[in-house]
Structures are given as C-alpha cells and as structure tokens.
C-alpha cells in the first residue's frame, strides 16, 4: 500500500442539512487502518446519516470525505463500493428468496457489469472464497438454506459476510447486534475483532457492553456534532456524555 501511513478515512467539516435542519454539522472524523471505531449517541444524533453520507446514499451539503485519499462526496454509490467501502444496513438487508450461497455469490466482486453477470461462472475460486467467508460468519452448514429461513442473528451475519466477500478496506456496520441473543452478541464481537484485522471498521451501536468489548475508539455524536471522542474509558467518564447519553 502506498498510503501505509495515511488514514483510511478522513471526514472534514462535513455538513448535511435537510430543509435547514443540520443532521450532521461540521463533523470531523478520522479512521486509521486496523482501527475499530464505534459511533454512539442518542436517537437522532445523526449516526446513520454519517454512514449514509460516506456510502453515497445521502449527498452532503458541504465538506469532504476522503477514503484512501479519494474524494467520495461526488462519486456514485456503486463506485464508492468498488473503491472499497462496504456498508451493512440497520435491518438485515439480505435477499430472502435466494440461498445463503447465492446471497454470497451475488455479492462476489466479479461480473459486476451487465455482460459480466451474464457470463459469470461459479468457478472453484469463487466457491473457495464463498466457503471461506461462510466459515467466518458461521454459516458454512447453511449454504443451501434459503436466507428467509435464517434466524435474525444469522441474517445479520450473512449481511456481514456479503460485505466481507468484497474485501472492503472500510467496513461500516449499522447496529450489528440489534435483536441478537447474548450468545450471538459474543460470537459477533469475536467476529468483529477478527475481521477488523487489515481493514478499518466503523460501527454504530447502542449496547454499551458490546461497545466496550470491541471498540478501539469511540465517538459520541449529539445533534449532528461530536460531543466527545477517545477510548471507551475516557468517553464513559466524560460529564457531558453522562448528561446527554449515558444517564446518571
């Protein structure tokens, strides 16, 4: 990598306003390689909007988002993905009618054009990669199961797997453990710690216990602005954070 020392993601002065309401207001956020960064904050703080802005779902009003020195704010969504940004949605967003294998195959980063997809073949290379990812997300035994039949937690993992198969440099996860059982949360924490090696991960999460287990760095958002940032301990002891978010 040429950018060995540079940041994976540099968000500077990012603002988006919806009819005058600033959902994100002059935000600065930096992510290093190998960093697992968690964004927390009360409802309506603009957490999901930040992810929407990075992946191009929402266009920014001003400011810049640089990913490996590439400006993302003007790029169409699919090109942002191809540049190496993967994003998981809040509710599991998988193809219910397709099997786990097909879900992963559809996400495989080849045959992304019209003609390419018509001529795409399930080669051994593709199969090996699918198996590898399925093993990581603990779904190797369910490859031929229709995705609709998976449990809620498994659906979340499948969506993470659909991102992993693209080998993104930046992985963004919106509430990955929402609705998961205690055991599934533990497995997910392990999974996240594993997959954050060699890439940057940006997570939005509410569950503080879970955040404490995974986060290298925590940023607290409030009304579109950063309230506090640092490691978990610093943030937890910050009086402003306690007041608006963590409670007394």
Contact residues for other proteins, defined by CB under 8 A? 55, 57, 76-78, 81-82, 86-87, 89, 93-98, 102, 105-107, 109, 111-114, 117-120, 159, 162, 166
Q: How far is the CB of 86 from other proteins (least distance, A)?
A: 8
Helix (H) or strand (E) segment spanning residue 16: strand 9-18
Q: In the complex with other proteins, which residue's Cβ is closer, 112 or 240?
A: 112
3-state secondary structure of 59: coil
CA-angle at 37, arms to 74 and 134, nearest 5°: 90
The encoded tokens of residue 234 equal 């610093």
When the beta carbons of 160 and 189 are compared against other proteins, the nearer one is 160
Q: How far is the CB of 8 from other proteins (least distance, A)?
A: 18
**Closer of 168 and 227 to other proteins (Cβ):** 168
Structure tokens at 144: 């031929």
Question: Which letter does DSSP use for residue 164 in this model?
Answer: H
Nearer to other proteins, 122 or 233 (CB): 122
Shortest Cβ 108–other proteins spacing (Å): 8
> Tokens standing for 215?
């986060």
Minimum distance, C-beta of residue 91 to other proteins, in the bound complex (Å)? 10
How would you class 220 by CB atoms within 10 Å of its CB: exposed for 0-12, middle for 13-18, buried for 19 or more?
buried
């Amino acid at each position: 990598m040429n950018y060995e020392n540079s940041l994976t993601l540099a968000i500077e002065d990012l603002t988006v306003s919806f009819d005058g309401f600033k959902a994100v207001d002059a935000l600065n956020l930096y992510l290093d390689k190998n960093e697992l960064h968690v964004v927390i904050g009360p409802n309506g703080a603009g957490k999901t909007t930040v992810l929407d802005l990075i992946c191009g779902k929402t266009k920014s009003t001003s400011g810049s988002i640089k990913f490996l020195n590439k400006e993302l704010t003007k790029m169409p969504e699919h090109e942002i993905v191809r540049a190496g940004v993967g994003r998981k949605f809040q509710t599991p967003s998988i193809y219910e009618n397709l099997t786990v294998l097909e879900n992963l195959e559809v996400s495989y980063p080849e045959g992304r054009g019209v003609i390419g997809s018509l001529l795409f073949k399930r080669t051994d290379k593709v199969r090996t990669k699918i198996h590898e990812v399925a093993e990581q997300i603990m779904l190797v035994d369910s490859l031929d199961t229709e995705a609709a039949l998976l449990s809620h937690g498994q659906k979340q993992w499948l969506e993470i797997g659909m991102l992993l198969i693209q080998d993104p440099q930046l992985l963004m996860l919106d509430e990955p453990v929402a609705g998961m059982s205690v055991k599934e949360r533990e497995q997910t924490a392990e999974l996240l710690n594993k997959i954050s090696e060699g890439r940057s991960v940006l997570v939005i999460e509410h569950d503080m216990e879970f955040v404490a287990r995974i986060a290298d760095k925590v940023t607290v958002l409030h009304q579109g602005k950063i309230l506090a940032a640092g490691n978990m301990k610093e943030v937890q002891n910050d009086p402003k954070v306690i007041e608006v978010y963590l409670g007394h």
